[in-house]
Amino acid sequence: QQQVKQSPQSLIVQKGGISIINCAYENTAFDYFPWYQQFPGKGPALLIAIRPDVSEKKEGRFTISFNKSAKQFSLHIMDSQPGDSATYFCAASIQGAQKLVFGQGTRLTINP
Amino acid sequence: DGGITQSPKYLFRKEGQNVTLSCEQNLNHDAMYWYRQDPGQGLRLIYYSQIVNDFQKGDIAEGYSVSREKKESFPLTVTSAQKNPTAFYLCASRGGRASGELFFGEGSRLTVL
């Protein structure tokens, strides 16, 4: 119940295309869903996060879509750029809880 | 600049040797974490600490030990009991309970020969 399942494991998108990464969870008590971006040799950094009281959150070219009934959330990267090439992790937690549960990660490559 | 500093960045050790990875933060955060990253397995929690002199086991604590003697420091020891210690290790910290954001260091890559 504590797992977050992320797909795909790797993704290749052409420059200017839309990148979509999906995550699914089981624990309905989760109420905080962040996405982290990690460049090679670096630590992950928070990209965007959503709470379940909204179905979508947009920050620039990055959008989280949240489907509470399906227990799924996804990251959409519009107009994907080579600089977006990185590993992306979804995660989930219960507000106030000390632990964040991470998905398995998606290695995104944007071809120029 | 405020942040998390991990050292060393790269470390090579022989089997059977204990190694200690350093993690220092100047963000004045109470909570600190150690994660292990392996390809295709995401980030797995090793240990975490909410306050000085207190820490809890995460999901994969076997073969690891930690201490939290100072708020700023949370070193991780990879002991000889850890069966597969070669990995990328990430330290993180978090501010108050209301904030879910983790701030990560740049990681330490341990290779056991």
Q: What is the pLDDT of residues A29-68, one digit of tens each?
A: 998 999 999 999 899 999 999 998 899 999 999 999 999 9
The answer to whether the beta carbons of residues B51 and B69 sit under 8 Å apart is no
CB contact under 8 A, B41 and A104: yes
Of the pLDDT bands very low, low, confident and very high (cuts 50, 70, 90), residue B82 is confident
Of the pLDDT bands very low, low, confident and very high (cuts 50, 70, 90), residue B7 is very high
Output A60-67 pairs: Cβ under 8 A, ≥24 positions apart. Answer: A62/A35, A64/A33, A64/A35, A66/A33
Of the pLDDT bands very low, low, confident and very high (cuts 50, 70, 90), residue B96 is low
Chain A residues within 8 A of B4 when measuring between CB atoms: 43
Neighbours of A75 (CB within 10 A): 25
A80 pLDDT above the threshold of 80: yes
Cite the DSSP H helix spans in chain A: none
Q: Which of B50, B102, B103 to mutate to test the interface with A (most CBs of A within 10 A)?
A: B102
End-to-end CA distance of chain A: 39
B91 pLDDT above the threshold of 80: yes
Average pLDDT, chain B: 92
- Reading phi first (left if > 0) and then psi (alpha if -120 to 50, else beta), residue B8 is in beta
Residue A84 DSSP code:
G
A1 pLDDT above the threshold of 60: no
pLDDT of residue B88: 96
Phi, psi for residue A16 in degrees, rounded to 5: 90, -10
Gap between the Cα atoms of A107 and A26, Å rounded: 23
A95 pLDDT above the threshold of 80: no
Q: Does A40 touch chain B (CB under 8 A)?
A: no
Q: What is the pLDDT of residues A100-112, one digit of tens each?
A: 899 999 999 999 9
Give the CA count within 13 Å in the CB-facing half-sphere of B51.
Answer: 1
Mean pLDDT of B44-71: 95
